[in-house]
Each structure stands twice: as C-alpha cells, then as structure tokens.
Structure 1
Amino acid sequence: MQRSVWRARILACVVLLAAIFGFARPADAAVPDAKAWVLWNQTAGATIGFGTWPANTTVTPVGVGRYRVRFPGQAAPGGVVHVTAVHNAPHWCQAETWFPSGVDEIAYIRCYRVGGALDPSSFSAFFTRSSGLPSSGPYGYVDSQASGALVSSYNSVGAPNVSTPTGVGSWHVRFPGIVTGGPLDGSLQATAVNNVTGARCKVGGWSSNSGGQDVKVACFNSAGAPFNTRFTLTYQHKVSLYGATIPPKYHGYLLNQPPLGPPTTNFNSVLGLSANTIMPAGVGLSLVTFPKIGFPQNTVQVTAYGGSSNFCGLNTFWNNFTTGPDLVVRDVNCFTNAGVPVNTGFTISASSIL
C-alpha cells in the first residue's frame, strides 16, 4: 500500500513537471517551436552557407522577382517571416505567404525595384514560430492584417498583443506586459506581407513603458503613399530575433536614429550594452560592426525607422571575420522612395544558431 502511494506521488510529480516545462506537448516547448533563415545569392543562383540554417534550405525562383523558400524540418503553423533585400541598387523585398508542407516550412518572397516592378534580388529571409512558455526573455511578435486582426501572435508573458489601425498605412501595436526599464529598450523588425502589390513597412517609433511596448508601424506602397497591408512585427530585448538565448550565445541589435539611439537599443550578447558600432560610409551607407558574435550560421535583418517613406536594406552580404570574431555589415544602404541614397534611421538585428 505504501509503495502504491509513493508510486502515485511520483507519477503526479512527473505530470506536474510536464505541464510546467512542456514535456508533454512539443508545440508548447520553450521558445521557439521552429526557426530558420536563408541568405540567397541571386548572381550565383545559390544559397550562402554561413547565412543559411538549416543547411539544406533551398530557394527556387518562380518568376521574375519571386522566390519559393523551403525550410526543411521547420513546419509550424503561424509564426512570422521577415526579409531584407541585399542589393547595391535600391530594392526591397517582402513576404508573400508562408505555410507548413509536410515537415517543411514553405515561404514565398517577392522583391521589387524602385517604381514597383518585381525584380530579381539577393535577400536574407527569416522564419520563426513560438508558443507556450517559458521564454528566455522579453519577446513578442504579431502577424497583423490591415484591419488589425491578428493572424498569428506571441507574447513572452502570455498577454494578448493588439494591433490597432490609426489611419491609412498606420498601426499602433501593443505588446502588453513586456516591461523593460524604458524609455526605449530592445529592438524591432517589420516586414510587409502582400501577394499582389509592392509594399514596405517600417518602425515609425516606439516607447518602452510600465505597461509594455507600444510600437507605431508605418507601411507604404511603391509610390511612397501610406498603404494598408498585412505586416509582421517582432520585438526583442536581450534575446535573439527568434526569442531564445544561451543558446544562442551570439546575438545583437542596434538602433540608428541617426546617430545612435539610446544605449539600451544597442545590445551585444557577449559585451553588453553600447558595444556595437556604426560608421558612416557615404550618403545612405552605414558600416555596422557586431564584435565577438560573428559565428555562423547567422542571419541579419534590417528595417527602416522613422515616419517617412524611406527604406533600407543591405548593400552586400555581411562578413564573419575570424578576428574577434566580428560580424561586419558593409553596408546598410538606405534610400528615398525615388531611390536616392539618404541618411535615415534603421534597426538592425543579428542572430546566430550558436
């Protein structure tokens, strides 16, 4: 009888631990459930290994400026996609759609040149999906319809995120309960989602306050006019862009307003606050260095910051130098809607698999 009681108690403890730590349901495991990224070299027609994970991720052109990305073994419903154009001429890329296919995740990407025509481009694309708790730190995302209805959402404290339209091409996104010291902490990435029209989204501004994170998202069409579209937005604070840390031990972010934003928007997982650097490299060009975190396979994403229709991308592929090892972006490039180089604000985020 006593042995049966102890057996029952042990079983109850196992069940309790499973509920707490998510052992019983993989979908509710520690953040994230799925993650993947790819760096596509349009000129070579091939993925680049140091910027691609899983290694056997494939990209297939499916028309002018359209690409089908297969992330093997990373199928998950919902989640978010971000994408950054890599081109030395003014281009942007956006998400079209993404969905599970068997055990794989499929994403379609569209890239445009100034004027709104689809055009081939290299790009850096990223997918993640999270559910349940625990989370490594303050983190959240939304996939929002233009109406504000959420297609997918995650909040590291379990509170319900909200997306509220505030005018044509403008939204107030709230991550309640994700509280930091303020008045501005962490980083953000935004991406337009549209399967018909060329569109760009950016961070118009945000505040870190006692209630959480309040973010203004602004979206534009190819003419530079405010535009209602679906979009994704991710918030991170001292965690990777996919919401985890240790691992990965190597991640960082930076806000250029310009010049640099507050120290609390410049984070390096090895060296702490204010360790990442930015140097002007010409009009509309910024050389960004993330010291000590240049470990592949890693991803870099860029989003323009501010109220105008300016947009930003990458001039070429980043480098992971063995010295440091440092991750060096040469350069972030930013343009007006007409494609003229311009010094403007942006956020940049780098995350490794390690």
Structure 2
Amino acid sequence: MHAGTFAPPVRPVGGARAVRALLLVLAVLAALVGVSLPAAGPANAAVPDRWGFAYLDNPNPPLGYVPDPSRQWGSWPTPAANPVKVDQLGTGSYVVHFPLIAGPGGIAHVTAVSRTGSWCQVRSWGTAGTGQDVTVGCYRPGGAPEDNRFTVLYTTSSGVPSPPGGSYGYVFANPTGAVVTQYNSAGGTNTVGPGGTGIWKVWLPGLGQSTPVGNLQVTAVDATAGARCKVADWSPSATGQTVVVACFNASSAPYNTRWTLSYSEKRAVHGPAFPPSSFGYLWFNGGLPPGTNYNSSGAVNTLTGSVPYTINLPNVAVPSDTAQVTAFGPGPDYCGLATPWNRSAGTVNLFALCFNSSGSPIASRFFTAYTSAF
C-alpha cells in the first residue's frame, strides 16, 4: 500500500479536456508505482558543501536589495557581513545573489509567500563570479507574471563524510527523466523514469525506512513558462524511497518541465544535521504520520486549522531561518506560505495555504520544512 492512499475528490479543471488529461495522469500514476528503475550505483556520503537561503520580503526590490536579515544565511564566510542580495529583472522575475559559494551542481527550491494563489518557481541557477545566482519567476493564477514574496534556498552536496543518523538526497531532472545532478547520502545513485506527460518516478536507494519517515520538497524549474510541481505519491520501502513527481502548466494541464526534488530524514531541508540543532518538518496527508513529524528538540509538532493551516514547531525558533512547502497528491492543487513564519517563546509558527487550479484557497495535503542556520 502506498503512503499516499488518502485522496480527495478530483476537481474538474478547465472543462472536459482538462478532466480527461487529469484522469490520464491518475492512470499513469497508478501504473508508475509498480515500475522498476535501475539499481543503486557507486557510493557517496554527505553534508552540504555550499548552501544559502533567503526570504524576499519586498516584491519590488531596488537594485542590490538586502532582504530580511533574520531570514537569510549561508555557508560562506561571515554571512552577516556578506548578505544575500536580490535584483528584480522584470515583473515577477528576480535574481537572488548568494555570495562566495560559486561552483557547479546542486539544487534550488522556492516557495511563494502569498494569500492570493500566486506561486513561484526556479528558472535557473549557476555560478556568477564568486557567487551563486538563483533566478526565480512568480505568477498569478492563470499564468501572468506577478511580483511576489518568496523563500528560496540553494544547496549542493558531495562525498564529504556525514554525521551518523538520518539520510538525505536530491535530484535535478530534465523532462526526459535524464538526471542533471543528484546526491545520495547512502551511496546509491538516484534515478528517474518518465511516465507520460508531467509524470516521473524517482528512486532514492538506501534512504529512509520501510514506513513513512522524513520530508520531501519539489520545485518546478522552467526558464520560459509558468509551471508547478509537487509530490504526487510516495512509497517507502526497506531498500529506498519511491516518489512520483507531477508537474502542471499555468492552465493546470500536465506539463513536461525540469524540476528538483529533495528528501531529508532527521536532517534540515538543505541537508545538514547537528548543526543546525534547530529544525523540523511535517507531512499532512489527512493525518500526521509519526515518522514524518520531526522536531530536532524532541518536541512534537502540531497542526491546526485548514485555510490556512497553522503548524507549531516548539523549541526551534532560532533566526536566521527559512521554510519551504510542497503540495502532495495527484491533482493540480498547490501550496505555499500564506505569510512569513513567526517566532514566539521558542516556537515557530508556519502558515501553510493551499489552492485549487483556479487559485482559490482549499483544504489540501502538503509537506512543510523549517530550519534555522544554527
């Protein structure tokens, strides 16, 4: 039985054609979970070599804008004296400059912070001088570019030995399923198999456990068009994790695009563990499976409400910090943060908000992850 067996009713999207497309996605999804992928390959081990995160708190930043200092940090020397900067390239288009972490590879994630159904995606990332630039695009429902707030992170890992306990891996894949870059803390080689338009099956060998543990995050990567990606299904096993990724265009039709996926078990969303000593994550799939509700302090995270959801993570509120949200389920629903997280008496409060294909708030399912830099 798959971890994601709870399924809300399918909502019609844009008439009969879109309904037929969505039914096809569901059929492909059901078939994909039974398909085998190549076995594990050579070994790696793991902590991130370079990383950075930020929250753009001003959707119309001037050139060289330094976003919220309490919600940005990175692995470069003296981050407080060498801050992240953001330039706006056009409506809904931004480049985030992470200083002093130039180099190839890695992945990026982004989450919109909006109550209006806007979403954000990664357009590209790469070395720029001595730094790493991540380009972000944001859109309103329907697909028109829109200025927006968002959280963003970049991270890359290689064969540096990792602390014991937990596991971590990531994939950056092309529409064909070709893996551009990947990482696996258990030493395996992550693989991707395409399953029809807008559907891919990911195999993460050696990570996790036979029951649901850990957290998943997925982000669309498209340089030219609005796209949204999510976790459509998740099947844990004793030998690794099978994850189905689904992507949609701005009209909520299945869509082939690039995307990034990361998996973290007892690790922060960007890969490391202890430090940071303050992080946590939660999966809401209609319930809260214990192994997917993790708090590094040993406390229990809780969830209340629905539109938006309030996630309380006790004893981990330590700036500088960041958060990401990814929707779960087969349809075109998507999720983000309604507002920035707040911190009160050591507790972090995250406000996850999900939307249907037309951008209306709904109750839905999602993964969320929070981490401090420390």
Distance (whole Å) between structure 1 residues aligned to residue 70 and residue 356 of structure 2: 31
**Map of 1:36 onto structure 2:** 52
Give the counterpart of 1:334 among 339, 350, 354.
354
Question: Counterparts of 1:203 and 1:351 in 2: how far apart (Å)?
Answer: 20
Superposition RMSD in Å:
1.4
Post-superposition CA distance 1:220-243 (Å, at most 9, x none): 001111111100000000011121
Q: Return 5+ residue gaps in structure 1 as ranges.
A: 1-27
Unpaired runs of 5+ residues, structure 2, are 1-43, 74-78
Is 2:280 the counterpart of 1:280?
no
Counterpart Cα distance in 1 of 2:149 and 2:49: 27
Residue 96 of structure 2 is aligned to residue 74 of structure 1: no
- Structure 1 counterpart of 2:272, one-letter code: A
Counterpart AA for 2:343: N
Picking from 123, 140, 146, the partner of 2:175 is 146
Q: Name the aligned partner's letter for residue 138 of structure 2.
A: C
1:44–1:277 distance in 2 versus 1, CA, 3 Å: farther
What are the Cα deviations for residues 263-303 of structure 1, in whole angstroms up to 9, with x where unaligned?
1110001115xx1111115xx31011111111011110000
Residues 164-193 of structure 1: CA deviation (Å, up to 9, x unaligned): 11111011001011142x221111000000
2:171 and 2:190 in contact (8 A); partners too: yes
In 1, Cα distance between equivalents of 2:251 and 2:208 = 37
Match of 1:241 in 2: 269
Name which of structure 1's ranges 132-141 and 225-234 shifts more when overlaid on structure 2.
132-141
| Secondary structure of the corresponding residue to residue 167 of structure 1 | coil
Partner in structure 2 of residue 346 of structure 1: 366
Please list the CA deviations of residues 321-350 of structure 1 after superposition, one character each: whole Å capped at 9, or x if unmatched. 2x1x11111x21110010111100000001
2:340 aligned partner, one-letter code: F
Match of residue 279 from structure 2: 251
- Note the C-alpha offset of 1:102: 2.4
> Is contact 2:169-2:184 (8 Å) kept?
yes
Deviation at 1:351, TM superposition (A): 1.1
Alignment correspondent of 1:167: 196
In the alignment, the residues of structure 1 paired with residue 46 and residue 242 of structure 2 have an alpha-carbon distance, to the nearest angstrom, of 25
Structure 1 29/170 Cα, relative in aligned 2: closer, same or farther at 3 Å?
closer
Q: Is the 8 A contact 1:33 1:76 kept in 2?
A: no
Q: Which letter maps to 2:310?
A: L
Report the 3-state secondary structure (helix = DSSP H, G, I; strand = E; otherwise coil) of the residue aligned with 2:291. helix
Q: Taking structure 1 as reference, are residues 117 and 183 closer, same or farther at Cα in structure 2, changes over 3 Å only?
A: same
Deviation, 1:133, is 3.5
**1:15-164 equivalent positions in 2, closer than 5 A:** 31-43=47-59, 45=61, 47-53=67-73, 54-55=79-80, 56-136=83-163, 137-164=166-193
Matched, 1:319 2:319: no
For 1:92 and 1:44, locate their aligned partners in 2 and report how far apart those are by CA, in whole Å. 16
Instruction: Tell me if structure 2 keeps the 8 A contact 1:65–1:119.
Output: yes
Output the amino acid matched with 1:278. L
Secondary structure class of the residue paired with 1:62 = strand
The answer to whether structure 1 residue 196 and structure 2 residue 216 are counterparts is: no
Q: Is the 8 A contact 2:171 2:179 kept in 1?
A: yes
The total of aligned residue pairs comes to 318
How many angstroms does 1:29 deviate by? 9.1
Alignment-derived partner of residue 244 in structure 2? 216
Distance 1:230 1:244, change over 3 A: same
How far does residue 313 in structure 1 lie from its aligned partner after superposition?
0.7
Q: Residues 135-184 of structure 1, C-alpha deviation per residue, up to 9 Å, x if partnerless? A: 2331100000011111110000121100111111011001011142x221
* Cα distance change on mapping 1:60 and 1:174 into 2, 3 Å: same
The alignment partner of 2:276 has SS state of coil
Counterpart CA distance in 2 for 1:135 and 1:91 is 37
Cα separation, 2, equivalents of 1:50 and 1:278: 24
Letter in structure 2 aligned against 1:139: Y
TM-score (norm 2): 0.82
Matches of 1:262 and 1:327, distance apart in 2: 20
Find the counterpart in structure 1 of residue 10 from structure 2. Answer: none
Cross-structure match for 1:15? none
Which amino acid is 2:213 matched to? D
Which secondary structure does the structure 2 equivalent of 1:33 belong to? Answer: strand
CA change 1:44–1:269 in 2 (3 A) is same
Correspondence 1:176 to 2:205:
yes
Q: In structure 2, the residue corresponding to 1:264 is in which secondary structure?
A: helix
